[in-house]
Amino acid sequence: MLTASWGGLGILWETEVAMCVIRPTRHTFGFMEKHDIFTLSFFDEKYRKALKICGKKSGRYVDKAKVAGLTPLPGRDGGVYFAEARMVLECRKLYWSDMDPAHFSNPKLNNFYPEKDYHRMYFGKILTCYAR
């Protein structure tokens, strides 16, 4: 689990897709590499404190869901999502690609990467949408 605000939705290869980016230094990166299914959970503002915990703590050292007070649930297609989310997309990985700083059209984008830990982009086919 990680807190992210970079990503996107759209149509690619005649398929509804979600795109997310993860730095290779994040604990979640290993899970994305190991598994074909991933979920994206969207929360109401009242969960901002919980999401800040998830963004600041590493899952290597702490059970973030427990500390943040979030309830993990099994998804229909093998992913895990959170009962408190207002919407969840369960996705199957279709493609990944590493960001290459040589392709930045604006050199200032390198300022986002002082550690040179460029994101890996993941595109997933949206399998299921849970909404409440």
Q: Which of 18-22, 36-40, 65-69, 107-111 has the lowest mean pLDDT?
A: 65-69
At residue 57, the pLDDT reads: 58
| Sheet with 87-98, side-by-side order of all strands | 7-12, 15-22, 120-131, 87-98, 37-42
pLDDT tens figures, 30-85: 889 999 999 999 988 888 777 766 666 566 656 666 766 788 899 999 999 989 99
At residue 127, the pLDDT reads: 97
| Distance linking the first and last C-alpha atoms of the chain | 21
At residue 106, the pLDDT reads: 97
Specify burial of residue 78 (Cβ count, 10 A radius: 0-12, 13-18, 19+).
middle
Q: Answer whether residue 88 shows pLDDT above 80.
A: yes
CA–CA dist 118, 121 (Å, integer): 10
Whether this model's pTM surpasses 0.75: yes
